[in-house]
């Protein structure tokens, strides 16, 4: 986790550096030059978060089961602040929809430092989102990416309307809809629940997009250090179903 090809730097200096605003830029520079950049100075802030991709999936689903059952653990946020000020090593990364009803940290009964979460309407793997997830995998050593859609998604419903009726939306909403329309085109809109089908297809397409557009993520999956999976969050129950 902490190996690096860069010249040795005193631990105190590295800690100060990682606190600074230039940490992300330096990390990305290290990635493009082929050098590994440590996410923390000495050891992982959360050693129990160093897990395999399969273990990460199991941990997410166990947390979701507690959430669905209303048996969430009591979390002491105050005690972990100092540890997390030195760095982070989340055990999973999420690409989730920007919806107030879907809160990944709650849905998986997790605390700060456990999940690296990116959110955008329609859970679209944009260039900026993909870059953020590349950082999580290459620098923070996250072993799992979950693309998480949810039922009754307004962004997907808007794309259905745009495709079927030619509906146009104001401002930048239209650009989001355009990104989702290819998924809508693939489904059978005469089926019993075209919206649900479109949501699932959009999740699967964005899982594929992360693999196809990112050599960093693709190579990590090939090495077995990363898995990219899809999921659907059910608003009524809170249950997450893995798909794909």
Residues annotated as binding site for Zn(2+)? 97, 99, 150, 153
E-strand stretches of 82-226:
92-96, 115-119, 144-150
Residue 157's Cα: distance from chain center in Å? 22
Q: Name residue, tokens 């166990």.
A: 62
Q: Are 147 and 229 in contact (CB under 8 A)?
A: yes
Between CA 221 and CA 228 the distance in angstroms is 8
Give the CA angle between residues 182, 205, 133 to the nearest 5°: 125
Relative to beta strand 227-233, strand 240-243 is antiparallel
Annotated binding site: 97, 99, 150, 153
């Amino acid at each position: 986790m902490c190996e690096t090809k860069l010249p040795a730097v005193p631990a105190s200096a590295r800690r100060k550096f990682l606190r600074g605003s230039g940490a992300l830029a330096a990390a990305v520079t290290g990635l493009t030059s082929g050098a590994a950049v440590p996410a923390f100075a000495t050891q992982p802030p959360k050693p129990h978060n160093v897990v395999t991709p399969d273990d990460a999936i199991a941990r997410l689903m166990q947390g979701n089961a507690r959430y669905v059952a209303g048996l969430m653990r009591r979390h002491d946020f105050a005690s972990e602040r100092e540890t997390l000020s030195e760095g982070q090593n989340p055990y999973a990364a999420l690409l989730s929809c920007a919806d107030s009803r879907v809160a990944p940290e709650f849905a998986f009964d997790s605390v700060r430092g456990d999940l690296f979460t990116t959110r955008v309407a329609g859970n679209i793997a944009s260039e900026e989102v993909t870059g953020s997830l590349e950082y999580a995998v290459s620098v923070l050593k996250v072993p799992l990416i979950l693309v998480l859609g949810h039922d009754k998604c307004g962004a997907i419903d808007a794309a259905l309307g745009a495709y079927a009726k030619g509906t146009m939306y104001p401002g930048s909403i239209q650009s989001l809809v355009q990104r989702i329309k290819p998924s809508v085109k693939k489904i059978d809109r005469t089926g019993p629940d075209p919206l649900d089908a479109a949501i699932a297809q959009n999740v699967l397409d964005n899982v594929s997009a992360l693999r196809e557009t990112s050599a960093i993520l693709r190579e990590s999956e090939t090495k077995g250090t990363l898995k990219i999976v899809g999921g659907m969050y059910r608003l009524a129950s809170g249950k997450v179903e893995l798909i794909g």
